Chain A
Amino acid sequence: MTSATDDAQTETPEAEKPRELNLGVKVTDSGPCRKHIAITVPRADIDWFYEQELDGLIDSAVVPGFRAGHVPQKLVERRFKKELGDQVRQKILVQSLDQVARDQKIDPINEPEIDVENLVIPEEGDFEYEFSVEVRPQFDLPNYKGLSIKRPVRDISDADVARAQDRFLLQYGTLTEREGAAQAGDWIQISGEFKREGRPIGSFPRTGVRILPKLRFQDAELDGFDKLMVGVTKGETRETQVVVSSEATNLELRGEKVDVTFHVHDVMVRKVPELDTRFLTRLGFESEEELKDAVKSALERQLKHEQRQSARRQVVEQITESATWELPEGAVRRQVENAMRRDILEMQQAGYTMQEIRSRENALRQQAISSTRQALKEHFVLDKIATAEEIQVTDSDLEHEIRVMAEQMGENPRRVRARMRRSGMIENLEAEVRERKAIDLIFDAATYTDVPTPAKHDDDTEAVSVSVCGDTAAPVAAESTEEGDEE
């Protein structure tokens, strides 16, 4: 509503202040975050708009037999009756909606549901119209200043640095075949099959994995993988069972036990090259000390990231804790539909039949509804905090964000900006930056309690991009990330 008025004002700068209309407004609640509004525009105001439009048209109307600006008013009225009516209707709608939003302090979150084409301004008498609109939920801001946040802290010991350095160097190692049986930490090439009650449900091709205590599939976890595999030799087969996760996409298999057979094709050991000057130069370091410093600073960055993530989680939890107010159902529905469309499209691309998709649709919908509700609550609370604190997103903020995105994508910032403008994503980015600034503000005002937290070592888990249920999703992370490369 506001933007349309802004446009109108830019077009006619001479109309400095828009006419204050004598509107009759009746606002009633018609559901959670939903208002029904009936507006009556008095005849005097309609006539005023009509005359304004007519004056403008008389000066510019082109009619055969008349010079421009010399057409009699009655002829203009008769010949341009429809155009005049449309323009007057549009101006009255824009201005009345704007005035109602301002006077009644209505904060709509979407366009009002008005069938503009079917609205007719009567020849005589007042013009009445009504519509429904979804508004932002009204709620009291939760306390967001001085929140108590637990900050995970830990000292980065020399042992941590050494472990991280080993992990880092491991990726430069070369694989050589092991003579004899496999040992913990070795690399093996395996393929396998999944069966349930003797019936095959899936398989995976030859994949390289490290023998670690845990093997993580996309939808299941196998504990004691090292115990299973230590001592295995090339050409041998091992069998075990895994329990499918309760989050698996295949509803039937959730929580079920599945038999796994691993075929071992190769057993290899990775040899790390000696840390000499030549190898260090190849890595871009001058000395071993420099490498250690780089590894340590990477660990510190990770800790900072972890702290921020944990703080964000806690902040969002605390500020939405008391959010028991109702959400605009239309907005929830729209968001859920968007999420559903995205999921279904992904499933179609992954080769699912429509029948399979339909059978999962309800489960997907339930998941989407709960996550959407939480996301919307977060959005409304953070937005209100941003408004209360008068947080603004400047052009330079957006430019910075776009530049960072462009760098990550390896594209020209101008191209990224143009694409975002075209697809309307720039508003989303603006909202995201605004929310982030609000969270930063909460962080600044929060009180932190340091909680010593031991480092989470992923050294004991190996992950493979394989689904037990047979519907493997494309891995999001690159190969190097899967191997636990944190640098």
Chain B
Amino acid sequence: MAVLSESGVELLPHQIVLRPLVTEKGTHLSEKLNTYTFKVHMLADKESIRKAVEELWSVRVVDVRTQRRVGKTRRHKMRAGQRSDWKKALVKLHEEDRIAFF
């Protein structure tokens, strides 16, 4: 199921959810709060993330929170550079649902 973003770009579920963020903090959130963290497409909104996660893992999403992460500045020799901005989504599932990343 394709989702139309605010900008009018049509994104498929696997284009919205780019990858799960498997980190110590993410693992802690998933274990304690049943909340999973993902790197998502910059143009994806909360609604499209909800629909994509529900479709990809067949779960019920209770809440979606997003963060726009500004890319860090990096310097190579005398030249300053910029890493890309990215979007992180924290998806809380219904208490009976689980996602096994590992």
Contacts and interface: CB of A to CB of B under 8 A. Distances in A.
Interface of A: 65-67, 70-72, 74-75, 78
Contacts of B23: 65-66
Contacts of A71: 24
6 contacts: A65-B23, A66-B23, A67-B24, A71-B24, A74-B102, A75-B102
Nearest to A71: B24
A456 B43 CA distance: 107
Contacts of B22: 65, 75
A67 B27 CA distance: 12
Given A65-B26, A72-B27, A78 B102 contact: yes
B24 A65 contact: yes
Interface of B: 21-24, 26-27, 102
Contacts of A78: 102
B86 to A, nearest CB: 15
A20 B92 CA distance: 49
Contacts of A72: 27, 102
A71 B22 CA distance: 10
A66 B22 CA distance: 9
Nearest to B30: A72
A70 B23 CA distance: 10
Most buried by B among A72, A74, A78: A72
A210 to B, nearest CB: 87
Nearest to B22: A65
Contacts of B102: 72, 74-75, 78
Could you tell me the dominant secondary structure of chain A's interface residues? loop
Nearest to A79: B102
A94 B93 CA distance: 48
Contacts of B26: 65
Contacts of B27: 66, 72, 75
Nearest to B101: A75
Nearest to B31: A72
A65 to B, nearest CB: 3
Query: When A and B form their complex, which 5 residue pairs have the shortest distance between CB atoms, in order from nearest?
Result: A65-B23, A74-B102, A66-B24, A75-B102, A70-B24
Contacts of A65: 21-24, 26
A54 to B, nearest CB: 14
A428 to B, nearest CB: 54
Contacts of A75: 22, 27, 102
A36 B102 CA distance: 42
A71 B26 CA distance: 12
Nearest to B23: A65
Given A65-B24, A66-B24, A75-B102, 15 more contacts: A65-B21, A65-B22, A65-B23, A65-B26, A66-B23, A66-B27, A67-B24, A70-B24, A71-B24, A72-B27, A72-B102, A74-B102, A75-B22, A75-B27, A78-B102
Contacts of A67: 24
B95 to A, nearest CB: 21
Nearest to B102: A74
A463 B26 CA distance: 91
B13 to A, nearest CB: 24
A78 B102 CA distance: 7
A75 B102 CA distance: 6
Nearest to A74: B102
B87 to A, nearest CB: 18
B100 to A, nearest CB: 9
B62 to A, nearest CB: 23
A7 B27 CA distance: 38
Contacts of A70: 24
B82 to A, nearest CB: 22
B6 to A, nearest CB: 30
A417 to B, nearest CB: 53
A75 B21 CA distance: 13
